[in-house]
């Protein structure tokens, strides 16, 4: 879960109200955050200077103090959520076709007349790195560069340069970087922070570059900015450029940064747009077009559990505003029963009516929601199925007998199920996977044996004896089924020991299981066709009498040494596998 470490006094200053640690912890809990104290000794003191907050993974807007303060001040009804204002563009960026194959998208904005303090400047830098790691997937999908606009000669260009043409002094460096040949990789080979991003562009013949009209390099995305346009605490006009391979992530990254830090501008929440001229179109960024989500008002409060007398349009609008959402219009009066909820640019996590319902529930208070018992839509009235009962009984008894349950894949390689097990595929039982992605997943397993033997082979270092079991399904062709195949419930167990064949152990376990199933008229018989996996004379077919008929349940025996060698197992193993279908009739 992402975390935010912040200065307590700075956070309360932005929220606009002071709180005790106990009160603020309750507020965070109601909002869905977990408050921790880096110094546990300060947990019960109100003079603790630092907070650590665990934030939901989808709430990227809460990963800086500015974004968190906007959310909490609205949640506590201290201030109404902001209305972001987009000013006309005074800056333009020309995008060249050469970046199309490398990093095709760019979105830009300007924060003009911004005033940084030590706390806000630190927050500004830290927030960019948090977004790089989470939203941008370690800069792979998008990355941001921030520059002092007053040091830049306009207009700005975004193009791909040949490596030998890229020379500039990177941020926090005094030596010029020459990207010719492997220059970039060599320059940062000892820098653990920067070097891990170089593979993102190192495979291309050209590198993407943001530069100004004087030819000065501003940044080499997604690697490093230039020291030429470095921002400081004294910077008053910040140019922000976000580049990436994912258009949505690139625009979301820009929106999150400008929406949070426009609070420090002279004209609060005022964002200056930038004209981006691509070879095919001209657009203005950031994209301030708020998303509109339609909600069904008839089930909205009902699904959440808010009483009818507290779910009027006015009351719902107030709850929405406390989560920075806006009820654009209410059409219940004309019978349409739809709400249009406007999602601000700093809430990219809201995608569906369900997200809005969750926010409304948080604003209303989960502790105030009344528990409502609803009918469970199950055909069996919640009763356990017969196979469920039998499987649970067998699992419990096998576990009590000292065997460990395994859960291997339901798919396996054809070779593992047949050649390795000394069996022949006659083509009338196996369900094959069309166009399998890997050799290990070619067929639906016709037996549980390959999975158990592979598990043994992967645990050869474990102390002997090894006792394993599985209660699961195999899949076989079935001409009577509408799908042409059917699941069959099987139970299998294996005992492995270096000093004996373990036949007596596995036979004793089989006796034990049949006793628990209250089956007495079962017996073993020789069947060479069904027992090729076992040593000659040490394998048998498991049968049961059903009136005048004899029904085959499965097989058991000491596994053939060639089979063990095929799976890389150096010690003897005994095994049985039976079908449970007979007991479910």
- For the chain, domains (ranges, CATH) are 3-75 (3.30.56.10), 85-285 (3.50.40.10), 291-368 (3.30.56.10), 386-584 (3.30.930.10)
Q: Are 106 and 250 in contact (CB under 8 A)?
A: yes
Q: What is d(CA 571, CA 183) in angstroms, rounded to the nearest whole number?
A: 56
> In this model, does residue 108 exceed pLDDT 70?
yes
> In this model, does residue 333 exceed pLDDT 60?
no
List b or e across 323-338, with b for residues whose CB sees 16 or more CB atoms inside 10 angstroms.
bbbbbeebeeeeeeeb
Of the ranges 208-212, 357-361, 382-386, 427-431, which one carries the lowest mean pLDDT score? 382-386
User: Which tokens is 557 given?
Assistant: 């025996």
Over residues 357-380, the mean pLDDT reads 79
Of the candidates 167, 150, 148, the one whose C-alpha atom is nearest the C-alpha of residue 220 is 167
C-beta neighbour count of 200 within 10 angstroms = 18
Q: What is d(CA 54, CA 477) in angstroms, rounded to the nearest whole number?
A: 51
Prior bond of 60 cis (ω within 30°): no
Q: Are 367 and 32 in contact (CB under 8 A)?
A: no
Exposed (0-12), middle (13-18) or buried (19+): which is 465, by Cβ within 10 Å? middle
Q: What pLDDT does residue 378 have?
A: 60
The DSSP code sequence of 431-445 is -BPSS-SSTT-SEE-
Rounded to the nearest 10 degrees, how much is the dihedral formed by the CA atoms of 69, 74, 78, 83?
Answer: 90
> In this model, does residue 314 exceed pLDDT 50?
yes
Of the chain, the percentage scoring pLDDT greater than 90 comes to 64
Q: Which residue has the tokens 């065997």?
A: 403
Q: What is d(CA 418, CA 17) in angstroms, rounded to the nearest whole number?
A: 72
> In this model, does residue 334 exceed pLDDT 50?
no
Can you give the three-state secondary structure of 501-559, one letter per residue?
Answer: CCHHHHHHHHHHHHHHCCCCCEEEECCCCCCCCEEEEEEEEEEEEECCEEEEEEEEEEE
> In this model, does residue 430 exceed pLDDT 50?
yes
Q: Are 281 and 290 in contact (CB under 8 A)?
A: no
Task: Say which residue, 530 or 155, is predicted with more confidence.
Answer: 155
Q: What is d(CA 328, CA 320) in angstroms, rounded to the nearest whole number?
A: 11
Which residues, at least 6 apart from 38, have a Cβ–Cβ distance to it below 8 Å? 5, 50, 52
Exposed (0-12), middle (13-18) or buried (19+): which is 179, by Cβ within 10 Å? buried
Instruction: Report the mean per-residue pLDDT for the chain.
Output: 89
Q: Are 171 and 276 in contact (CB under 8 A)?
A: no
Q: Which residue has the tokens 């949070």?
A: 260
> In this model, does residue 501 exceed pLDDT 50?
yes
> In this model, does residue 44 exceed pLDDT 70?
no
Over residues 77-88, the mean pLDDT reads 93
Residue 119 C-alpha from the chain's centroid: 32
| Element housing 70 (H / E) | helix 65-75
> In this model, does residue 239 exceed pLDDT 70?
yes
The tally of CA atoms less than 13 A away on the side-chain side of residue 564 is: 19
Helix/strand/coil for 567: coil
Which residues, at least 6 apart from 133, have a Cβ–Cβ distance to it below 8 Å? none
Of the ranges 137-141, 286-290, 511-515, which one carries the lowest mean pLDDT score? 286-290
The DSSP code sequence of 76-104 is TTSSPPP--EEEEEEEEEEEPGGGTTT--
User: Which tokens is 320 given?
Assistant: 């929405």
Over residues 199-225, the mean pLDDT reads 95
User: Which tokens is 150 given?
Assistant: 């007053």
Confidence band of 218 (pLDDT split at 50, 70, 90): very high
What would the pLDDT profile of 445-483 be if each residue is shown by its tens digit?
A: 999 999 999 999 999 988 889 999 999 999 998 888 888
Whether pTM > 0.75 for this model: the answer is no
Confidence band of 382 (pLDDT split at 50, 70, 90): low
Q: What pLDDT does residue 379 have?
A: 60
Of the chain, the percentage scoring pLDDT greater than 70 comes to 94
């Amino acid at each position: 879960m992402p975390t935010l470490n912040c200065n307590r006094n700075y956070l309360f200053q932005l929220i606009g109200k002071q709180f005790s640690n106990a009160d603020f912890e309750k507020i965070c809990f109601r909002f869905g955050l977990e408050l921790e104290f880096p110094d546990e000794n300060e947990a019960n003191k109100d003079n603790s200077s630092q907070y650590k907050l665990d934030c939901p993974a989808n709430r990227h807007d809460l990963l800086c103090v500015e974004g968190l303060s906007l959310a909490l001040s609205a949640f506590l009804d201290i201030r109404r959520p902001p209305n972001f204002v987009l000013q006309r563009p005074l800056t333009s960026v020309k995008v060249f076709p050469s970046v199309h194959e490398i990093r095709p998208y760019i979105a830009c904005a300007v924060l003009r007349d911004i005033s940084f303090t030590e706390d806000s400047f630190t927050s500004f830098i830290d927030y960019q790195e948090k977004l790089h790691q989470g939203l941008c997937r370690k800069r792979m999908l998008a990355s941001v560069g921030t520059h002092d606009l007053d040091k830049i000669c306009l207009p700005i260009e975004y193009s791909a340069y040949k490596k030998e043409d890229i020379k500039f002094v990177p941020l926090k460096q005094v030596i010029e970087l020459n990207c010719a040949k492997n220059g970039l990789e060599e320059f940062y080979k000892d820098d653990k922070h920067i070097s891990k991003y170089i593979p993102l562009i190192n495979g291309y013949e050209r590198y993407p570059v943001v530069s100004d009209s004087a030819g000065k390099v501003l940044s080499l995305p997604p690697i490093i900015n230039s020291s030429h346009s470095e921002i400081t605490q004294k910077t008053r006009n910040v140019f922000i450029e976000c580049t990436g391979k994912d258009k949505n992530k690139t625009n979301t990254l820009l929106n999150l940064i400008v929406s949070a830090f426009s609070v420090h501008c002279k004209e609060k929440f005022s964002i200056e747009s930038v004209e981006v001229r691509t070879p095919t179109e001209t657009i203005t960024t950031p994209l301030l077009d708020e998303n509109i989500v339609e909600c069904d008002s008839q089930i909205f409060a009902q699904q959440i559990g808010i009483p009818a007398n507290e779910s009027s349009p006015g009351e719902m609008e107030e709850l929405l505003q406390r989560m920075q959402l806006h009820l654009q219009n209410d059409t219940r009066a004309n019978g349409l029963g739809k709400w249009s909820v406007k999602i601000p640019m700093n809430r990219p996590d809201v995608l569906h009516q369900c997200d809005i319902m969750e926010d409304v529930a948080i604003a209303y208070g989960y502790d105030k929601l009344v528990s409502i018992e609803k009918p469970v839509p199950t055909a069996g009235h919640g009763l356990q199925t017969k196979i469920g009962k039998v499987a649970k009984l067998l699992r419990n008894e096998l576990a009590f007998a000292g065997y460990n349950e395994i859960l291997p894949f339901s798919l396996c390689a054809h070779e593992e199920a047949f050649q390795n097990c000394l069996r022949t595929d006659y083509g009338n039982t196996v369900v094959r996977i069309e166009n399998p992605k890997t050799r290990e997943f070619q067929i639906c397993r016709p037996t549980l044996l390959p999975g158990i033997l592979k598990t043994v082979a992967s645990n050869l270092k474990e102390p002997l004896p090894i006792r394993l079991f599985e209660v699961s399904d195999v899949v076989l062709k079935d001409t009577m089924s509408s799908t042409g195949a059917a699941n069959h419930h099987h139970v299998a167990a294996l005992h492995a020991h270096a000093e004996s064949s373990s036949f007596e152990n596995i036979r004793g376990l089989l006796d034990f299981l049949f006793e628990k199933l209250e089956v007495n008229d079962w017996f073993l018989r020789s069947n060479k066709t069904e027992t090729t996996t076992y040593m000659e004379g040490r394998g048998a077919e498991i049968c049961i009498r059903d009136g005048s008929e004899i029904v085959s349940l499965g097989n058991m025996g000491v596994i053939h040494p060639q089979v063990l060698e095929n799976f890389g197992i150096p010690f003897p193993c005994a095994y049985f596998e039976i079908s449970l279908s007979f007991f479910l009739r």
